């Protein structure tokens, strides 16, 4: 049954041994043994540099590294030459802003973001604004905390060159209809960038169906290692983007008079890449696909729904976000600061997140300085919800 399945999943995560209720997977996911093993082998037994394949070990590592790129491409439903390895989602968005953005946007052009964006999908565009004079508009949310696409349709004009939205909110768990957003953006000639950090571990992705132009995610939220993520961009867009960082591996030929660059995606990967991390990411995708993305979404919706139901029974709790959120639930407890709640829960071995979740404009919109956030992974189960609810009850007794 479901409980046995989850226990079998949980047993694969050494970070979850003992009686710890980890409810902070939206910040970063624990790693299954398969990912740890793949990473250890890449750093040990199999370790060598890539793209210098005169000796067999390096040739093998190059194959593993490029296989990881193919794996990411297949995971996203894109092509291998559309995948750029980055340090994470943050770096991927900065890369788009500083290459595509600087090349294509000028004073008077507009960018549409939303109220619920993570700082990493706000600040890079503000830096671009300082450099180019582009204007930033903010799409409001529906009353239940989704990006309001009807409002987006009203706001968008031919001056909009980019719309950049989160696929799944890291605070509210609300899910964007990406295809719909793409139709709206493309109708005015804008590109669509999707921040897929919280969606990639929870929802099956298909770039062809979704029709975004850029999609970014971080491996560490997808049961993989820190230090790597990916930018997917439509081939013709990536090909048109100028290089970003200069150095080894991104060149065609270097001379002091003139240097020519490698084609995309190598053009965007200066220096020795994240070799070990790429192997770890490939193992994480294998693990997640073996679990099944449809099953992952069902699991994450089920747990979020159950927690919302339990919290909804209390008259001292305010719930944020829509009823059908996926994997992430934010709430506030009357008269208790989220940090105090988090501290008391920690004494009960329940780990939640308390804070602004790198989404200060959203906190402002909700009218709170911070929220308490519980987020699930594929190893989470009903016992985590029970422990959280018990901890909330104890907190209430302490605070009266």
> Considering only CA atoms, which of 180, 177, 190, 187 is closest in space to residue 100?
190
Contact between 218 and ligand PMP per CB under 6 A = yes
Residues 232-251 that bind ligand PMP (CB under 6 A): none
Nearer to ligand PMP, 6 or 84 (CB): 84
Q: Can the peptide bond before residue 265 be classed as cis, meaning omega within 30 degrees of 0?
A: yes
Nearer to ligand PMP, 99 or 170 (CB): 170
Contact between 115 and ligand PMP per CB under 6 A = no
d(CA 384, CA 51): 45
Question: Which range of residues in 88-96, 249-257, 339-347, 373-381 is near ligand PMP by CB under 6 A?
Answer: 88-96
Question: Which range of residues in 47-55, 85-93, 264-272, 362-370 is near ligand PMP by CB under 6 A?
Answer: 85-93
Contact between 197 and ligand PMP per CB under 6 A = yes
Contact between 94 and ligand PMP per CB under 6 A = no
**Any idea what the Cα angle at residue 16 is, between residues 46 and 307, rounded to 5°?**
130
Judge whether 375 and 362 are in contact, CB under 8 Å: no
User: Which of 30, 99, 115, 120 is in the footprint of ligand PMP by CB under 6 A?
Assistant: 120
Judge whether 360 and 119 are in contact, CB under 8 Å: yes
Contact between 170 and ligand PMP per CB under 6 A = yes
User: Which of 97, 166, 228, 333 is in the footprint of ligand PMP by CB under 6 A?
Assistant: 166
Residues 357-376 that bind ligand PMP (CB under 6 A): 358
Question: Which range of residues in 97-105, 115-123, 241-249, 277-285 is near ligand PMP by CB under 6 A?
Answer: 115-123
Q: How far is the CB of 314 from ligand PMP (least distance, A)?
A: 27
The active-site residue out of 317, 358, 368, 389 is 358
**Any idea what the Cα angle at residue 240 is, between residues 237 and 244, rounded to 5°?**
100
d(CA 108, CA 112): 13
Residue 284, H or E segment: helix 275-291
d(CA 191, CA 236): 12
Question: Which range of residues in 8-16, 190-198, 339-347, 372-380 is near ligand PMP by CB under 6 A?
Answer: 190-198
Could you confirm whether 358 is annotated as catalytic? Answer: yes
Interaxial angle between packed helices 293-312 and 382-399, expressed in degrees from 0 to 180 and rounded to the nearest 10: 30
d(CA 341, CA 391): 8
**Can you give the binding site for ligand PMP, defined by CB under 6 A?**
88-90, 118, 120-121, 166, 170, 195, 197-198, 218, 358
* Residues designated catalytic: 358
């Amino acid at each position: 049954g479901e409980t046995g399945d989850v226990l079998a999943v949980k047993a694969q995560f050494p970070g979850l041994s003992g009686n710890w209720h980890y409810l902070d997977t939206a910040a970063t996911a624990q790693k299954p043994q398969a990912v740890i093993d793949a990473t250890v082998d890449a750093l040990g037994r199999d370790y060598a540099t890539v793209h210098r394949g005169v000796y067999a070990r390096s040739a093998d590592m190059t194959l593993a590294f490029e296989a990881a790129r193919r794996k990411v491409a297949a995971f996203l439903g894109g092509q291998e030459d559309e995948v750029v390895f980055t340090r994470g989602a943050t770096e991927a968005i900065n890369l788009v802003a500083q290459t595509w953005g600087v090349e294509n946007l000028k004073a008077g052009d507009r960018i549409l973001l939303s109220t619920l964006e993570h700082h990493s999908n706000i600040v890079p565009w503000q830096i671009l604004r300082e450099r180019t004079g582009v204007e930033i508009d903010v799409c409001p949310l529906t009353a239940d905390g989704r990006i309001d696409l009807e409002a987006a349709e009203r706001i968008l004009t031919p001056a909009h060159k980019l719309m950049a939205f989160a696929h799944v909110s890291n605070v509210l768990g609300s899910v964007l209809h990406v295809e719909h957003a793409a139709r709206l953006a493309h109708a005015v000639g804008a590109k669509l960038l999707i921040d897929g950090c919280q969606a990639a571990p929870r929802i099956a992705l298909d770039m062809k169906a979704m029709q975004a132009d850029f999609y970014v995610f971080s491996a560490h939220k997808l049961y993989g290692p820190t230090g790597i993520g990916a930018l997917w961009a439509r081939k013709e867009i990536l090909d048109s983007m100028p290089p970003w960082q200069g150095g080894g591996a991104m060149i065609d030929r270097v001379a002091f008079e003139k240097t020519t660059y490698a084609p995309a995606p190598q053009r965007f990967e200066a220096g020795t890449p994240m070799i070990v991390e790429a192997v770890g990411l490939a193992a994480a995708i294998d693990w997640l696909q073996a679990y099944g993305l449809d099953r992952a979404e069902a699991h994450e919706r089920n747990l979020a729904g159950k927690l919302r139901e339990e919290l909804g029974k209390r008259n001292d709790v305010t719930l944020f976000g829509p009823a059908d959120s996926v994997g992430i639930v934010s709430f506030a407890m009357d008269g208790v600061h989220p940090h105090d709640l988090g501290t008391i829960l920690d004494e009960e071995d329940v780990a939640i997140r308390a804070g602004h979740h790198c989404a200060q404009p959203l906190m402002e919109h909700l009218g709170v300085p911070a929220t308490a956030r519980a987020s699930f992974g594929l190893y989470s189960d009903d016992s985590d919800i029970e422990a959280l609810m018990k901890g909330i009850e104890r907190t209430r007794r302490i605070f009266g």
